[in-house]
Amino acid sequence: SYRKGGYHAVRIGDLFNGGRYIAQRKLGWGQFSTVWLAYDTQSSSYVALKIQKSAAQFAQAALHEIEVLSAIADGDPSNSKCVVRLIDHFKHAGPNGQHLCMVLEFLGDSLLKLIKYSRYKGLELNKVREICKCILTGLDYLHRELGIIHTDLKPENILLFSTIDPSKDPIRSGQTPILEKPEGSLNGGSTMNIIEKKLKRRAKRAVANISSRRASMGGIEFQKPERCLDGIDMRCKVVDFGNACWASKQFAEEIQTRQYRAPEVVLRAGYSFSVDMWSFGCTAFELATGDMLFAPKSGQGFNEDEDHLALMMELLGKMPRKIAIGGARSKDYFDRHGDLKRIRRLKFWSLDRLLVDKYKFSETDARELAEFLVPLLDFAPEKRPTAEQCLQHPWLNLRNAAQDERENKSNVEKVDVGMSKLQIKKSVLVIN
Ligand code: ATP
Ligand code: MG
Ligand code: MG
């Protein structure tokens, strides 16, 4: 992909936009772009630099993303709506062509990584609630104030705030930003590997020196992943607006990542803001259990769409006939009675029973979570609660006392550690 029309190859220390930004290290990549941690010499802070592939269709997509992100930034001057902020954008000419670049506020790990850190066991419900409040705040802003549908909401596209000041990032800890190319960088790719290896080694050492919780939040694996979640302020932001659209200007029929796709999209029955609410429901379930709510697969005599519809009905009950037969694809999958043509026997398993039987939730936790989730998964899109309504749901303000107590205890432990360090210092002083 590093050829004409593709990605732009970046070296640590490379300058962008007339020298304003200096590349520090790679943060991630997608189908369309690579994303770099960069130092902004103008604001003396770190930013995420998203460098798009150069071919015309990618440039077109980036222009669209910039348009959406600009509307988002203009409508939220105080940057408090839980949606990623666009700081700047420009063109960068390289050997593979002209690349559109977006400068975004620097954020931390995605919720998908958080789920991995939980070893796919799911997060404590108190944490799930905090995350849900952030996502809903973002969705309410997009939907009600801007008229924008995200269309690709999922754990991967929600990033935590970076709890670490990048200047104290384990990889860069105690260092000032890289302001020029490291020595010997003209020798080509191998130098870069040496630098990366050095940085990784340094990171490992740093990890040993600081609390594992902080280390993990810098995106580094360590021995006890589940501990890294203790006492973390669970704030996050919605990102990746490459597929977002204005409800009044839709362009794609097939939207959303498969597992988070709403039934009206599967059936091609038209869509609106409520598709994001469906994806939100799937995401909240995944945060609480560590498993995807729906993971459809094709099988003998049926395709992925049909399996998906069957899974939805097994969990949520039979789809009302009017809805089942109401889409452009309905005739392919349903007969005129509203029954699936090729999957005949469904095994019904309600959400609260699933939470108790498979995920070992207490009866109370299961009932309360199901009461929050089931309305979001209504087959009738117009019956799903809006983000604004959802923010009023009592579930978001419930607290699990045992989890609270554990949290307090872990805070007390931290204070204790601080105290004993102080005492050690004192005794050293006395000895001296
Ligand atoms: P996709 O194929 O998913 O559409 P994309 O090319 O549009 O990918 P993004 O999903 O926006 O790119 O970003 C790719 C990755 O870069 C993300 O998964 C994340 O790891 C990282 N990333 C993106 N934006 C930020 C940010 N603001 N701060 C920190 N990391 C980021
Ligand atoms: Mg993405
Ligand atoms: Mg994208």
| pLDDT one-digit tens code per residue, 126-148 | 999 999 999 999 999 999 999 99
Query: Mapping DSSP to helix (H, G, I), strand (E, B) and coil, where does residue 321 land?
Result: helix
pLDDT at 425: 30
- Give the side-chain half-sphere CA count within 13 A for 186: 0
Q: Name the amino acid, one letter, at 382.
A: E
Residue 28 CB less than 6 A away from ligand 1: yes
**Range among 36-45, 210-219, 221-230 with highest mean pLDDT value:** 36-45
pTM of the model: 0.84
For residue 123, give the nearest of 226, 244, 211 by alpha carbon.
Answer: 226
Q: What are the CA-CA distances from residue 32 to residues 9, 212, 234, 423 (Å)?
A: 13, 33, 29, 54
pLDDT at 227: 52
For ligand 1, mutation pick of 7, 8, 21, 29 (most atoms within 8 Å of CB): 29
pLDDT at 204: 47
Given a cut of 50, whether residue 177 has pLDDT beyond it is: yes
Query: Mapping DSSP to helix (H, G, I), strand (E, B) and coil, where does residue 336 land?
Result: coil
> Higher-confidence residue: 164 or 6?
6
pLDDT at 323: 98
Listed residues: CB within 5 A of ion ligand 2: 30, 240
> Higher-confidence residue: 128 or 406?
128
Ligand 1 atom nearest residue 35's Cα: 16
Residue 240 CB less than 6 A away from ligand 1: yes
Q: What are the CA-CA distances from residue 72 to residues 116, 145, 159, 275, 387 (Å)?
A: 30, 10, 17, 19, 17
CB neighbours of residue 143 within 10 Å: 21
pLDDT at 156: 96
Asked which of 156-165, 173-182, 274-283, 371-380 is least confident by mean pLDDT, the reply is: 173-182
Cβ burial 201-229 (10 Å sphere, 16+ → b, else e)? ebbeebbeeebbbbbbbbbbebeebeebb
Nearest CA, atom 5, ligand 1: 30
- Give the side-chain half-sphere CA count within 13 A for 103: 21
For residue range 151-175, list pLDDT tens digits in order: 999 999 999 987 555 544 444 444 5
What span, in angstroms and rounded, lies between the C-alpha atoms of 110 and 132? 14
Give the CA-trace dihedral at 418, 419, 424, 430, to 10 degrees. Answer: 140
pLDDT bin (cut points 50, 70, 90) of residue 22 is: very high
Q: Name the amino acid, one letter, at 422.
A: L
What span, in angstroms and rounded, lies between the C-alpha atoms of 328 and 266? 10
Given a cut of 90, whether residue 42 has pLDDT beyond it is: yes
Residue 109 CB less than 6 A away from ligand 1: no
Q: Which ipTM did the prediction report? A: 0.97
Residue at token pair 């104030």: 145
Given a cut of 80, whether residue 403 has pLDDT beyond it is: no
- The residue-averaged pLDDT of 344-373 equals 97
